[in-house]
Structure 1
Amino acid sequence: MTTHRTLLPPGWPRPKGYSNGISARGRLLFTGGVVGWDEEEKFVSGDLAGQFRQVLVNTLAILAEGGAGPEHVVRMTWYVTSVADYRDGLAKIGAAWRELMGKNFPTMAVVEVAALVEPEARIEIETTAVVPEL
């Protein structure tokens, strides 16, 4: 069951890889800032694109605990330590997205920050999902 509707004003071009706005109804789930380490808190990769894939794996595991899947994600805020690394890794980031998130394109913001709390982290993502009320 769809829990949200993409908002695209008439005449606007379709954004690539994200949505400008979403209207949603249902039960809200939120994640804190999720980084690219494994269940033992060891980073699986030293680069942003490699950590991104693990962030998605971790995020989906957290959301599954609340009964949500990738199709329920409506908002993500990405904090990256280097926009240049983000741009350089777009092919790998896109491949990981397609593999794990499919064709769901939530609203997103990517923000470059000076540092993250975990010194090895190159990316941290906060996520909001909306699941149907039963």
Structure 2
Amino acid sequence: MSFTTISTPLAPAPIGAYSQGRRIGPFMQVCGQVAIDHTTGDILQADVAGQTRQALEQVAAILAAGGAGWQDALMVRVHLASDDDFEAMDAAYREVLSEPFPPRTTVTVVLAPGALVEVDALAVCP
């Protein structure tokens, strides 16, 4: 089965051997997004809520570039640097996404220095 690489200038360019997203048939996977400050290209200097909103905006931009939106998300994965940030992340997440929420897995991991959250998504494109 062939695939399409998804790319948009509205999300950070890859800094390694990966693409922003890939679509195979109706399925699209968006790579993990940490919040990037578009003016500096560095990780956004914000609390976890601010970083969550920015990371979700970047995922949304990649979804849109592939012909999908949050309503098409089959699964969202959130990686947090600290369990203590769950409530603030969840509140920011609720500001951006609306019910019915897609299934979500949230785990605590070691992230890049300065990153408090990373978000990726799997969507089924219309």
> So what's the TM-score if we normalise by structure 2?
0.70
Cα deviation digits, residues 41-65 of structure 1 (max 9, x gap): 2333431111000011000101111
Residues 34 and 59, structure 1, Cα contact 8 Å, conserved in 2:
yes
Q: Alignment partner of 1:37: what SS?
A: coil
Shift of the 71–46 alpha-carbon distance from structure 1 to 2, 3 Å rule, reads: same
Q: What is the deviation of 1:79?
A: 0.7
**In 2, Cα distance between equivalents of 1:63 and 1:47:** 24
**Hey, what does 2:105 align to over in structure 1?**
109
Residues 27 and 130, structure 1, Cα contact 8 Å, conserved in 2:
yes
Q: What is the deviation of 1:85?
A: 1.5
**Hey, what does 2:81 align to over in structure 1?**
81
Aligned residues: percent identity?
33
Cα deviation digits, residues 85-106 of structure 1 (max 9, x gap): 22245434422x2xxx232411
Gaps of 5+ in 2: 1-24
Residues 75 and 104, structure 2, Cα contact 8 Å, conserved in 1:
yes
**Hey, what does 1:126 align to over in structure 2?**
120
Query: Which structure has the higher relative contact order (CA within 8 Å, separation 6+)?
Result: 1
Shift of the 59–81 alpha-carbon distance from structure 1 to 2, 3 Å rule, reads: same
Q: Alignment partner of 1:110: what SS?
A: strand
Q: Alignment partner of 1:63: what SS?
A: helix
Amino acid across the alignment from 1:128? L
- RMSD across aligned positions (CA): 1.8
Q: Alignment partner of 1:49: what SS?
A: helix
Pair 1:27 & 2:23 matched: no
Shift of the 104–38 alpha-carbon distance from structure 1 to 2, 3 Å rule, reads: farther
**In 2, Cα distance between equivalents of 1:62 and 1:89:** 20
**In 2, Cα distance between equivalents of 1:57 and 1:90:** 15
Residues 76 and 121, structure 2, Cα contact 8 Å, conserved in 1:
yes
Gaps of 5+ in 1: 1-25
In terms of Rg, which structure is larger?
1
Q: Alignment partner of 1:32: what SS?
A: strand
